[in-house]
Amino acid sequence: MTDLEIARGAKLEPIEAVGARAGLPAEALYRYGPHKAKVSLDFIAGLGERPPGKLVLVTAINPTAAGEGKTTTTVGLADALSAIGKRAMICLREPSLGPCFGMKGGAAGGGYAQVVPMDEINLHFTGDFHAITAANNLLAALIDNQVYWGNPLRIDPSKISWRRVMDMNDRALRHIVVGLDNNGQVREDGFDITVASEVMAIFCLAASLAELEERIDRIVVARDFAKKNVTARQIQASGAMGVLLRDAMQPNLVQTLEHTPAFVHGGPFANIAHGCNSVIATRTALELADYVVTEAGFGADLGAEKFFDIKCRQAGLTPAAAVIVATVRALKMHGGVDKKDLGAENVAAVKAGMANLLRHIENVRKFGVPVTVAINHFTADSDRECQAIVEGCRQVGVRAHLCRHWAEGSKGAVGLAEEIVALAGKGSDFRPLYPDDMPLTDKIATVAREIYRAADISLSPDAAKKLKQYEADGFGKLPVCMAKTQYSFTAEPDIRGAPSGFILPVRDVRLSAGAGFVVALCGDLMTMPGLPRDPAAYRIRINAEGQIEGLF
Please, which pLDDT band fits residue 4 given cuts at 50, 70 and 90? low
Query: pLDDT tens digits, residue range 29-40?
Result: 999 999 999 999
Please, which pLDDT band fits residue 539 given cuts at 50, 70 and 90? confident
Mean pLDDT along residues 79-91: 98
- 228 classed as catalytic: no
Mean pLDDT along residues 299-305: 97
- 54 classed as catalytic: no
Query: pLDDT tens digits, residue range 137-170?
Result: 999 999 999 999 999 999 999 999 999 999 999 9
List Cα–Cα distances, 212 to 161, 209, 426, 480, in angstroms. 20, 5, 35, 20
pLDDT over 90 (residue 63): yes
Q: If we measure between CA atoms, which residue out of 347, 417, 420, 337 comes closest to residue 389?
A: 347
Q: Give me the long-range contacts of 337-345 (CB less than 8 A, separation at least 24).
A: 339/65, 339/66, 342/66, 342/380, 343/380, 345/382, 345/384, 345/385
pLDDT over 70 (residue 476): yes
Q: Give me the long-range contacts of 208-211 (CB less than 8 A, separation at least 24).
A: 208/41, 208/45, 208/280, 209/41, 209/242, 209/246, 209/249
* Catalytic hit among 38, 70, 306, 329: 70
Mean pLDDT along residues 395-421: 97
- 72 classed as catalytic: yes
> In this predicted structure, what is the pLDDT of residue 104?
61
Please, which pLDDT band fits residue 232 given cuts at 50, 70 and 90? very high
Host H or E run for residue 418: helix 414-426
> In this predicted structure, what is the pLDDT of residue 3?
67
Please, which pLDDT band fits residue 549 given cuts at 50, 70 and 90? confident
Q: If we measure between CA atoms, which residue out of 374, 273, 336 comes closest to residue 64?
A: 336
List Cα–Cα distances, 82 to 37, 92, 413, in angstroms. 21, 17, 11
Mean pLDDT along residues 174-185: 92
Q: If we measure between CA atoms, which residue out of 63, 483, 493 comes closest to residue 310?
A: 483
* Catalytic hit among 378, 475, 502, 517: 378
* Catalytic hit among 203, 263, 308, 406: 406
Mean pLDDT along residues 196-204: 97
List Cα–Cα distances, 497 to 337, 381, 523, in angstroms. 11, 20, 18
Distance of CA 420 to the CA centre of its chain: 22
Query: pLDDT tens digits, residue range 205-216?
Result: 999 999 999 999
> In this predicted structure, what is the pLDDT of residue 330?
96
pLDDT over 80 (residue 5): no
Distance CA 552, CA 550 (A): 6
> In this predicted structure, what is the pLDDT of residue 271?
84
Q: What is the DSSP string of 32-91?
A: SSTT-EEEPHHHHHTPPP----EEEEEEESPP-TT---HHHHHHHHHHHHHHTT--EEEE
* Catalytic hit among 298, 367, 475, 517: 298
H-only helix segments in 257-365: 279-288, 305-306, 313-315, 328-334, 347-365
Distance CA 69, CA 514 (A): 32
Q: In order of start, what are the domains of the chain with their CATH numbers?
A: 3-127+248-426 (3.40.50.300), 128-245 (3.30.1510.10), 440-522 (3.10.410.10)
User: What percent of the chain stands above pLDDT 70?
Assistant: 98
Please, which pLDDT band fits residue 107 given cuts at 50, 70 and 90? confident
Distance CA 280, CA 285 (A): 9
List Cα–Cα distances, 254 to 34, 281, 428, 480, in angstroms. 10, 12, 29, 33
- 93 classed as catalytic: yes
Pairing between strand 113-116 and 220-224?
unpaired
Mean pLDDT of all residues belonging to the chain? 95
Distance CA 200, CA 267 (A): 7
- 315 classed as catalytic: no
pLDDT over 70 (residue 455): yes
Question: What is the model's pTM?
Answer: 0.95
pLDDT over 80 (residue 8): no
Lowest mean pLDDT among 42-51, 215-224, 493-502: 42-51
> In this predicted structure, what is the pLDDT of residue 48?
76
> In this predicted structure, what is the pLDDT of residue 272?
85
pLDDT over 70 (residue 288): yes
Distance CA 297, CA 485 (A): 12
- 298 classed as catalytic: yes
Pairing between strand 503-512 and 456-459?
parallel
DSSP 96: P
- 311 classed as catalytic: no
Mean pLDDT along residues 220-229: 97
Lowest mean pLDDT among 55-59, 99-103, 328-332, 440-444: 99-103
* Catalytic hit among 21, 93, 223, 510: 93
Position 369: which residue type? V
pLDDT over 80 (residue 177): yes
pLDDT over 90 (residue 6): no
pLDDT over 80 (residue 275): yes
* Catalytic hit among 8, 31, 87, 104: 104
Higher pLDDT: 105 or 225? It is 225
Please, which pLDDT band fits residue 99 given cuts at 50, 70 and 90? confident
Please, which pLDDT band fits residue 105 given cuts at 50, 70 and 90? low
* Catalytic hit among 64, 71, 72, 231: 72
| Cβ partners under 8 Å of residue 380, min gap 6 | 329, 342, 343
